[in-house]
Amino acid sequence: MNAVKFNEERLLQVILAPVISEKSTMIADKREQVALRVAPDATKPEIKAAVELLFKVQVKDVQVSNVKGKNKRFGRTFGRRANWKKAYVCLRPGQELNFVAGE
């Protein structure tokens, strides 16, 4: 296990939501990876610890991507959606994330 200990309260706030898209379902089937929306200031070790704590699975690797917010128009005025961070979590073989089970 990791020598670094994280605050459990912080770990519960790191993962915000799963990313549901065609690409995320494709990588889930092919590579045993899961795409998650995470806190903008989350680090790779924090994301790994949070997934292992919440879902009781073993994480092999974490890749992180910063997603730029889109420019949107509201009538005459222009606005911008917020930037956010996406994490691709690679699970060890045989592991699976279940978002629906209330375990």
- pTM of the entire predicted model: 0.84
> Which pLDDT band holds residue 85 (cuts at 50, 70, 90)?
very high
pLDDT of residue 94: 82
Q: Helix H segments across the chain?
A: 8-14, 22-31, 44-55
What domains can be seen in the chain, in order of their start residue?
Answer: 8-91 (3.30.70.330)
Who has greater pLDDT, 20 or 100? 20
Mean pLDDT, residues 7-20 taken together:
92
> Which pLDDT band holds residue 41 (cuts at 50, 70, 90)?
very high
pLDDT of residue 81: 95
Amino acid letter for position 15: I
